[in-house]
Structure 1
Amino acid sequence: MDKIFEKFDIVVAAGGTGGHIFPALAVALQLRRERGNISLLWAGTTRSREVELCKKNNIPLVLLDVTGIERKLSIKAVSAALNFVREFLRIRSLFAKNRPRAVIAFGGYVCAPVLAAARILGIPYFIHEQNTVAGLVNRL
Protein backbone atom coordinates (compact mmCIF):
# COMPACT_ATOMS: atom_id res chain seq x y z
CA MET A 1 0.00 0.00 0.00
CA ASP A 2 1.04 3.56 -0.53
CA LYS A 3 3.50 4.56 2.21
CA ILE A 4 3.19 8.32 1.70
CA PHE A 5 0.03 8.55 3.76
CA GLU A 6 0.05 9.31 7.40
CA LYS A 7 -3.08 9.89 9.44
CA PHE A 8 -5.84 11.64 7.52
CA ASP A 9 -9.18 12.91 8.80
CA ILE A 10 -11.40 13.10 5.74
CA VAL A 11 -11.35 11.12 2.51
CA VAL A 12 -12.82 12.85 -0.52
CA ALA A 13 -13.75 10.42 -3.29
CA ALA A 14 -14.51 11.72 -6.77
CA GLY A 15 -13.43 10.97 -10.27
CA GLY A 16 -14.30 10.80 -13.87
CA THR A 17 -15.84 14.11 -14.84
CA GLY A 18 -15.61 17.72 -13.79
CA GLY A 19 -19.19 17.42 -12.54
CA HIS A 20 -17.89 15.17 -9.76
CA ILE A 21 -14.41 16.59 -9.33
CA PHE A 22 -15.04 20.33 -9.06
CA PRO A 23 -17.76 20.17 -6.36
CA ALA A 24 -15.51 17.77 -4.42
CA LEU A 25 -12.58 20.16 -4.73
CA ALA A 26 -14.73 23.09 -3.55
CA VAL A 27 -15.81 21.15 -0.45
CA ALA A 28 -12.25 19.95 0.26
CA LEU A 29 -10.86 23.48 0.05
CA GLN A 30 -13.69 24.87 2.20
CA LEU A 31 -13.02 22.21 4.85
CA ARG A 32 -9.38 23.23 4.81
CA ARG A 33 -10.29 26.93 5.13
CA GLU A 34 -12.67 26.36 8.03
CA ARG A 35 -10.54 23.79 9.83
CA GLY A 36 -6.95 24.58 8.99
CA ASN A 37 -5.56 21.55 10.77
CA ILE A 38 -7.74 19.00 8.96
CA SER A 39 -5.88 16.45 6.87
CA LEU A 40 -7.43 15.33 3.61
CA LEU A 41 -6.92 12.40 1.28
CA TRP A 42 -8.40 12.34 -2.21
CA ALA A 43 -9.36 8.99 -3.72
CA GLY A 44 -9.41 9.35 -7.48
CA THR A 45 -8.92 7.46 -10.70
CA THR A 46 -5.91 6.97 -12.88
CA ARG A 47 -7.79 8.32 -15.89
CA SER A 48 -9.07 11.67 -14.70
CA ARG A 49 -8.20 15.32 -14.00
CA GLU A 50 -7.83 15.10 -10.24
CA VAL A 51 -4.10 14.36 -10.36
CA GLU A 52 -3.33 17.86 -11.60
CA LEU A 53 -5.89 19.53 -9.31
CA CYS A 54 -4.73 17.71 -6.18
CA LYS A 55 -1.10 18.52 -6.91
CA LYS A 56 -1.96 22.20 -7.46
CA ASN A 57 -3.92 22.32 -4.17
CA ASN A 58 -1.51 20.19 -2.13
CA ILE A 59 -4.02 17.41 -1.44
CA PRO A 60 -2.56 13.90 -1.06
CA LEU A 61 -4.02 11.53 -3.64
CA VAL A 62 -4.49 7.79 -3.83
CA LEU A 63 -5.24 6.56 -7.34
CA LEU A 64 -7.54 3.61 -7.85
CA ASP A 65 -7.72 1.67 -11.11
CA VAL A 66 -11.47 1.30 -11.58
CA THR A 67 -13.57 1.47 -14.71
CA GLY A 68 -17.21 1.64 -15.65
CA ILE A 69 -19.48 -1.29 -15.05
CA GLU A 70 -20.25 -3.27 -18.19
CA ARG A 71 -23.92 -4.22 -18.13
CA LYS A 72 -23.48 -7.54 -19.94
CA LEU A 73 -21.21 -10.50 -19.34
CA SER A 74 -17.95 -9.97 -21.19
CA ILE A 75 -14.20 -10.03 -20.64
CA LYS A 76 -14.38 -6.29 -19.97
CA ALA A 77 -17.04 -6.86 -17.29
CA VAL A 78 -14.97 -9.57 -15.58
CA SER A 79 -11.88 -7.34 -15.72
CA ALA A 80 -13.81 -4.42 -14.18
CA ALA A 81 -15.10 -6.69 -11.39
CA LEU A 82 -11.59 -7.97 -10.63
CA ASN A 83 -10.26 -4.40 -10.59
CA PHE A 84 -13.02 -3.42 -8.17
CA VAL A 85 -12.14 -6.28 -5.79
CA ARG A 86 -8.41 -5.48 -5.95
CA GLU A 87 -8.95 -1.76 -5.34
CA PHE A 88 -11.51 -2.43 -2.60
CA LEU A 89 -8.97 -4.59 -0.74
CA ARG A 90 -6.31 -1.93 -1.25
CA ILE A 91 -8.42 0.96 0.07
CA ARG A 92 -9.82 -1.14 2.92
CA SER A 93 -6.26 -1.87 4.03
CA LEU A 94 -5.40 1.83 3.90
CA PHE A 95 -8.52 2.75 5.91
CA ALA A 96 -7.85 0.01 8.48
CA LYS A 97 -4.33 1.37 9.09
CA ASN A 98 -5.17 5.08 8.97
CA ARG A 99 -8.80 5.12 10.04
CA PRO A 100 -10.35 8.33 8.65
CA ARG A 101 -13.07 10.14 10.58
CA ALA A 102 -15.34 10.25 7.51
CA VAL A 103 -15.59 9.70 3.77
CA ILE A 104 -17.37 12.10 1.42
CA ALA A 105 -18.24 10.64 -1.99
CA PHE A 106 -19.12 12.87 -4.92
CA GLY A 107 -19.64 10.32 -7.67
CA GLY A 108 -17.78 8.38 -10.28
CA TYR A 109 -16.83 4.72 -10.28
CA VAL A 110 -13.96 5.39 -7.88
CA CYS A 111 -16.53 5.88 -5.11
CA ALA A 112 -17.70 2.25 -5.21
CA PRO A 113 -14.66 0.59 -3.56
CA VAL A 114 -14.16 3.59 -1.26
CA LEU A 115 -17.75 3.54 0.03
CA ALA A 116 -17.73 -0.25 0.34
CA ALA A 117 -14.58 -0.11 2.48
CA ALA A 118 -15.99 2.67 4.65
CA ARG A 119 -19.24 0.80 5.18
CA ILE A 120 -17.55 -2.49 6.09
CA LEU A 121 -15.17 -0.77 8.52
CA GLY A 122 -17.93 1.32 10.13
CA ILE A 123 -16.48 4.63 8.96
CA PRO A 124 -19.14 7.33 8.58
CA TYR A 125 -19.73 8.28 4.96
CA PHE A 126 -21.66 10.97 3.15
CA ILE A 127 -22.82 10.96 -0.45
CA HIS A 128 -23.03 14.30 -2.21
CA GLU A 129 -25.26 14.05 -5.29
CA GLN A 130 -25.42 17.27 -7.26
CA ASN A 131 -27.44 15.90 -10.19
CA THR A 132 -31.22 15.63 -10.41
CA VAL A 133 -30.84 11.93 -11.18
CA ALA A 134 -28.27 10.09 -9.05
CA GLY A 135 -25.50 8.25 -10.86
CA LEU A 136 -25.22 4.47 -10.74
CA VAL A 137 -22.68 4.24 -7.89
CA ASN A 138 -24.51 6.76 -5.71
CA ARG A 139 -27.78 4.87 -6.21
CA LEU A 140 -26.17 1.70 -4.85
Structure 2
Amino acid sequence: MPDEECLFCAIAAGERPGHVVFSDDVGAAFLDVRPVFKGHVLVVPRAHVETLTDLPVPLVGPFFERVRAVAGAVERGLEAGGTFVAMNNRISQSVPHLHAHVVPRNRKDGLRGFFWPRTKYDDAAEAESYARRVREALDGSLPSDG
Protein backbone atom coordinates (compact mmCIF):
# COMPACT_ATOMS: atom_id res chain seq x y z
CA MET A 1 0.00 0.00 0.00
CA PRO A 2 1.20 3.53 -0.69
CA ASP A 3 2.34 5.63 2.24
CA GLU A 4 0.62 9.03 2.24
CA GLU A 5 3.77 10.69 3.60
CA CYS A 6 6.20 9.07 1.13
CA LEU A 7 7.58 11.23 -1.69
CA PHE A 8 8.24 8.22 -3.95
CA CYS A 9 4.72 6.84 -3.40
CA ALA A 10 3.33 10.25 -4.36
CA ILE A 11 5.43 10.47 -7.54
CA ALA A 12 4.47 6.91 -8.53
CA ALA A 13 0.79 7.75 -7.96
CA GLY A 14 1.04 10.94 -10.04
CA GLU A 15 0.29 13.10 -6.99
CA ARG A 16 3.70 14.83 -7.04
CA PRO A 17 5.62 15.97 -10.09
CA GLY A 18 8.39 13.84 -11.50
CA HIS A 19 9.92 13.02 -14.86
CA VAL A 20 8.34 9.58 -15.10
CA VAL A 21 9.86 7.00 -17.42
CA PHE A 22 7.22 4.32 -16.76
CA SER A 23 4.58 3.34 -14.25
CA ASP A 24 2.57 0.15 -13.87
CA ASP A 25 1.02 -1.89 -11.07
CA VAL A 26 4.42 -3.33 -10.04
CA GLY A 27 6.50 -0.17 -9.97
CA ALA A 28 7.50 3.14 -11.41
CA ALA A 29 10.67 4.74 -12.71
CA PHE A 30 11.53 8.43 -12.79
CA LEU A 31 14.55 10.69 -13.02
CA ASP A 32 16.54 11.32 -9.85
CA VAL A 33 16.33 15.05 -9.05
CA ARG A 34 20.00 14.98 -7.99
CA PRO A 35 21.50 12.72 -10.64
CA VAL A 36 25.01 11.33 -10.57
CA PHE A 37 24.89 11.79 -14.36
CA LYS A 38 22.02 13.14 -16.44
CA GLY A 39 19.59 10.35 -17.19
CA HIS A 40 20.01 8.74 -13.72
CA VAL A 41 16.73 6.89 -13.10
CA LEU A 42 15.20 5.56 -9.87
CA VAL A 43 13.09 2.41 -10.09
CA VAL A 44 10.69 1.94 -7.17
CA PRO A 45 8.12 -0.73 -6.29
CA ARG A 46 4.56 0.58 -6.22
CA ALA A 47 4.09 -1.08 -2.81
CA HIS A 48 5.60 1.05 -0.06
CA VAL A 49 8.48 -0.94 1.36
CA GLU A 50 11.57 0.54 2.95
CA THR A 51 14.26 -2.00 2.02
CA LEU A 52 14.92 -4.94 -0.26
CA THR A 53 14.32 -7.37 2.59
CA ASP A 54 10.85 -5.84 3.07
CA LEU A 55 9.85 -6.49 -0.56
CA PRO A 56 7.51 -9.50 -0.65
CA VAL A 57 9.17 -12.47 -2.36
CA PRO A 58 6.53 -12.66 -5.16
CA LEU A 59 7.43 -9.07 -6.16
CA VAL A 60 11.22 -9.54 -6.25
CA GLY A 61 11.27 -11.02 -9.76
CA PRO A 62 8.77 -8.59 -11.31
CA PHE A 63 10.53 -5.61 -9.68
CA PHE A 64 13.94 -6.63 -10.98
CA GLU A 65 12.48 -7.29 -14.46
CA ARG A 66 11.64 -3.58 -14.48
CA VAL A 67 15.10 -2.61 -13.18
CA ARG A 68 16.62 -4.74 -15.95
CA ALA A 69 14.40 -3.13 -18.63
CA VAL A 70 15.26 0.38 -17.42
CA ALA A 71 18.99 -0.42 -17.42
CA GLY A 72 18.74 -1.47 -21.07
CA ALA A 73 16.65 1.56 -21.97
CA VAL A 74 19.12 3.94 -20.30
CA GLU A 75 21.94 2.43 -22.36
CA ARG A 76 19.99 2.53 -25.64
CA GLY A 77 18.16 5.81 -25.12
CA LEU A 78 21.14 7.78 -23.88
CA GLU A 79 23.77 5.95 -25.93
CA ALA A 80 25.56 5.11 -22.69
CA GLY A 81 28.40 2.62 -22.65
CA GLY A 82 26.80 0.85 -19.68
CA THR A 83 25.00 1.43 -16.41
CA PHE A 84 25.72 1.34 -12.71
CA VAL A 85 22.82 -0.28 -10.82
CA ALA A 86 22.77 0.09 -7.04
CA MET A 87 20.54 0.35 -4.00
CA ASN A 88 20.99 1.34 -0.40
CA ASN A 89 19.16 -0.25 2.51
CA ARG A 90 18.59 2.29 5.30
CA ILE A 91 22.14 3.74 5.38
CA SER A 92 22.47 6.49 2.73
CA GLN A 93 18.84 5.97 1.73
CA SER A 94 17.59 9.56 1.47
CA VAL A 95 13.95 8.48 0.98
CA PRO A 96 12.85 5.46 3.06
CA HIS A 97 11.27 3.68 0.08
CA LEU A 98 13.14 0.90 -1.75
CA HIS A 99 14.70 2.25 -4.95
CA ALA A 100 17.23 1.02 -7.46
CA HIS A 101 19.52 3.62 -8.99
CA VAL A 102 20.16 3.12 -12.70
CA VAL A 103 23.01 5.47 -13.62
CA PRO A 104 24.26 5.87 -17.20
CA ARG A 105 27.99 5.19 -17.47
CA ASN A 106 30.69 5.81 -20.04
CA ARG A 107 34.39 5.08 -19.94
CA LYS A 108 36.40 7.81 -18.21
CA ASP A 109 33.24 9.50 -16.89
CA GLY A 110 34.97 10.24 -13.59
CA LEU A 111 32.88 8.03 -11.30
CA ARG A 112 35.15 6.19 -8.89
CA GLY A 113 34.30 3.95 -5.97
CA PHE A 114 31.29 4.88 -3.91
CA PHE A 115 31.67 8.65 -4.03
CA TRP A 116 28.65 9.83 -5.97
CA PRO A 117 29.10 13.39 -7.19
CA ARG A 118 25.77 14.98 -8.04
CA THR A 119 24.80 17.26 -10.90
CA LYS A 120 21.54 18.91 -11.93
CA TYR A 121 19.52 19.54 -15.04
CA ASP A 122 19.59 23.01 -16.56
CA ASP A 123 15.79 23.14 -16.43
CA ALA A 124 12.65 21.00 -16.55
CA ALA A 125 12.77 20.82 -20.35
CA GLU A 126 16.23 19.28 -20.29
CA ALA A 127 15.15 16.76 -17.64
CA GLU A 128 12.08 15.84 -19.67
CA SER A 129 14.23 15.31 -22.77
CA TYR A 130 16.26 12.69 -20.88
CA ALA A 131 13.10 11.04 -19.52
CA ARG A 132 11.60 10.95 -23.02
CA ARG A 133 14.67 9.28 -24.51
CA VAL A 134 14.64 6.55 -21.85
CA ARG A 135 10.85 6.16 -22.15
CA GLU A 136 11.08 5.71 -25.93
CA ALA A 137 13.89 3.16 -25.54
CA LEU A 138 11.70 1.18 -23.09
CA ASP A 139 9.02 0.56 -25.71
CA GLY A 140 8.26 -3.15 -25.76
CA SER A 141 10.92 -4.18 -23.24
CA LEU A 142 8.75 -4.31 -20.13
CA PRO A 143 6.83 -7.47 -19.22
CA SER A 144 3.17 -7.27 -20.18
CA ASP A 145 1.98 -9.13 -17.07
CA GLY A 146 2.38 -6.08 -14.77
What TM-score does the superposition give when structure 2 sets the normalisation length? 0.31
What TM-score does the superposition give when structure 1 sets the normalisation length? 0.32
